[in-house]
A and B are shown apart, each in its own frame.
Chain A
Amino acid sequence: MEKMPHWADIVLIPLISLILAAMLSALVILAIGESPVDAFNLMVQGALMRSAGWGYTLYYATNFMFTGLAVAVAFHARMFNIGGEGQAMLGGLGVAYVCLFIPWPHWSLALIGASLGAAMFGALWAVIPAYLQAKRGSHIVITTIMFNFIAAALLNYFLVNVLRPPRSMDPATATFPEATHLPSFRDMFSTAETIMFRGAPANVTFFIAVAACVLVWFLIWRTKLGYEIRAFGHSETAAKYAGISPVKITVISMVISGALAGMMSINTTMGESERLVLNSTEGAGFIGIAVALMGRSHPFGVFLAAILFGFLYQGGAELALWTNIPRELIVVIQALVILFTGALDNMVRMPLEKIFLAFRKGDA
């Protein structure tokens, strides 16, 4: 029998981990002489109580959904794609080329074009490590990490030497044409009387991210490809018995993973800055790992975890703005959440399993 009910596994464990992380964070804040209650209030106020706060929270969450899904898909095939960052950088390059060099009549068409460009470039950056893993046995963790550095250097080269407008001092592309500008939440939700999401970067890409969550769910649990990916992830020997090609699954799942990571850059590049800048990914590729871990590689879990991390990002920015809590502490809090929800899973799981077993014994 299962050691504990399914709901405990997907709800209770992350929740307890989160509470533990919050408690430890509170201690840290206490230790530097600030009030944890005030800090928490400020974070909630700043990130959730105003529409502009939500506008930031959901903007960050959009990034994390894409990169979280990317890591989750690879996880299902038992691969650890740490290269989301690099794949997203390359995705940005794809977006830039599509937006700058194709005359789009309308933003909706440009969005489709840019999605394809971002996905293709991201996938391309993931397919090389995948191929090396499948054919040569080079470990994907190592290769994807190294590809992050190569991607950064490549992006640097393109921005400085190829895409930088003449006489600009800034390693960035020119601003994208007007027709490619995506509607922001402000454009979409404000009425004549009230302006919503003032100044916030959240934009239509959020809905693409939500759609991606739904599509990934269908892919993993409702298609034969998803069936093969999960089978391969659980047991490679069994997959071989069933005639599932390890090479094919390794490459395809990394292509999907890379494409998702690449699509993150629609949000940052096309949706927010409207040009490609050097540091547009801002570490979201790595946060995606924590998001996938916390979301148990399930698209709905990734959705929730992405919003939580969006909240932490935006709330953290507010803290740095209004209190003496240094910016670095925000990183500490984020790190604690990652540590507890991702790495220390068993610390919560084992006692909880014992409790459930004890209860069940009581029933018997």
Chain B
Amino acid sequence: MTAPAIELKGISKAFGPVQANKDISISVQPGTIHGIIGENGAGKSTLMSILYGFYKADKGEIFIKGDKTQIPDSQAAIAAGIGMVFQHFKLVENFTVLENIILGAEEGRLLRPSLAKARRTLSHLAEEYELNVDPDALIENLSVGHQQRVEILKALYRQADILILDEPTGVLTPAEADQLFRILDRLREEGKTIVLITHKLREIMEITDTVSVMRRGEMTATVKTSETSPEHLAELMVGRKVLLRVDKKSASPGDVVLEVEGLRVIDDKGVLRVKGIDLTVRAGEILGIAGVAGNGQSELLEVLGGFADGKGNIRINGEELDLTGKYSDGQSRRARGIAHVPEDRQREGLIMEYTAWENTIFGYHLDPTYQKGILMDNVGIQAEAQAKMERFDVRPPHPKLAAKNFSGGNQQKIVLAREIERNPDLLLIGQPTRGVDIGAIEFIHQQIISLRDQGKAILLVSVELEEILSLSDRIAVMFDGHIMGERMPDQTDEKELGLLMAGVTQEPAAADYKVVDQQFALQDQELGGA
């Protein structure tokens, strides 16, 4: 048997009192895809950062292809044949693909010979691994999926035979993710070793040969993928049995609560982001908006939530909402019974430096019940916060702790407690479980369903297709500022939604949307499939 491509022995790393990695040993066989799965904060990224030379382990040894190796910095990692594809790409937007690929690997004083060499190598690589990208295209003009390919090419150009991918599908459409998996498959066939870090069980099951599970800094298990199941992996990740499917009764929609007609939104840079959409949400139903991030969903939420201007008509319970001017702010929206769990809880939904109790009234702080004369009733607010935090199982239930000291899931529960307990007519909720542990996801989903069952209207925006499919009573798919179509969750599947998310539609009604946009999307498809 050949030596493992990567072998880590007894790796430990602490950040102050936090033990991010505890005595981790792992062995990755060459020519396999090895998944590392775990919740946020389980220590996956720390482990990979140690392997890539960003952090130095407190204890432990690293063996690459059987040789004990010191990796003090990323240069040493590259020299050892390790390439890393980060979740957030490290590309220069206004450089071409070729320029990005040689960046940091230029040879000689002049650029031209390096570029010519890179061009030749690139065409070999493209052939060998089916990694097609136009070498002269500017990064900013490429789709996210293609940008990711450039990252992979960068690693291969530096002769990496071990590739680490950190949450690679987070920004991709399902179709793009499938293409990525085909590429990974191909790389495996050619003998490359791949480490895939993810928190998505589906991806692990689909592509990996072996999977290691991390929990709270420890490696809890390493199993063959073929010998495990999603339920089993989830249990290993969380440490208890988890309900992966959402239990819910079928919806009984009532009156229309939210009507949107011909909404258009122009962002700060003057770009039209929402290009005339219509939708309705009824009481007692959840409308899920699916789509790849950046296709206008955020702007839709911002206008509804009152922190961006829009054009068109929006009615709540039959009454027009102001979309510009003094009465289009968050306060006016709340007065009309709209509660909003924003997409980015750390930048929008919470003041991270504020204590939990201060955050439990954020946005409702002008409410007279929170005042005592000209001062705020801090004692009363704190008592109420304590009760809210207990009801929403926020851990630890300490109202005086700053929001930044809670985990992602518990931060989200603080926001949810605040918004849901206001008993709104309409709840806007964006990315409810982004960066949230599996255990907390279950709880958050239950809260959303129970609000629906109380007869409230809910508009859900999520880039997690699974979440959309399991929570929504109706699904609308957004692409490039348009709604590409509506589907019922029991009459559709990820494949069909994935096509809509990429802008491909058979519906004649949608055919008059910008033809040019579709052509771009099709070109993307062709390039990808070639």
Contact = CB atoms under 8 A, between A and B. Distances in A.
Contact of B347 (A1, A223, A235): A235
A94 B83 CA distance: 68
A215 to B, nearest CB: 11
A243 B330 contact: yes
Contacts, number: 78
A318 interface: no
Interface stretch (B111-119, B211-219, B351-359): B351-359
Contacts of B481: none
Contacts of B342: 241
Contacts of B305: 241
11 contacts: A223-B376, A228-B365, A235-B348, A238-B350, A240-B330, A240-B348, A241-B305, A241-B330, A243-B330, A245-B329, A357-B17
A72 interface: no
B365 A242 contact: yes
B345 to A, nearest CB: 9
B332 A243 contact: yes
A32 B6 CA distance: 63
A222 B354 contact: no
Interface string A223-245: 11001101100110110111111
Nearest to A239: B351
A274 to B, nearest CB: 36
B16 A243 contact: no
A2 interface: yes
B310 interface: no
B352 A241 contact: no
B354 A231 contact: yes
A228 B402 CA distance: 17
Nearest to B374: A223
Nearest to B344: A237
Residue from the set B305, B307, B349 with the largest chain A CB neighbour count within 10 Å: B307
B365 A3 contact: no
A218 interface: yes
Given A231-B354, A245-B329, A357-B16, A237 B362 contact: no
A238 B362 contact: yes
Contact of B363 (A2, A242, A360, A364): A242
B17 A364 contact: yes
A1 to B, nearest CB: 6
Contacts of B510: none
B126 interface: no
Given A241-B305, A357-B17, A222 B376 contact: yes
Contacts of B374: 223
Contact of A241 (B348, B358, B378): B348
A2 B347 CA distance: 20
A235 B340 contact: no
Nearest to B333: A243
Contacts of A242: 330-331, 362-363, 365
B452 to A, nearest CB: 23
Contacts of B331: 242-243
A228 B351 CA distance: 11
Interface string A59-72: 00000000000000
A136 interface: no
A238 B362 CA distance: 9
Contacts of A223: 374-376
A44 B318 CA distance: 74
Given A241-B349, A243-B331, A245-B329, 8 more contacts: A218-B375, A234-B351, A240-B348, A242-B330, A242-B363, A243-B334, A360-B17, A361-B16
A251 to B, nearest CB: 15
Nearest to B367: A224
Nearest to B353: A234
Contacts of A245: 329
B488 to A, nearest CB: 32
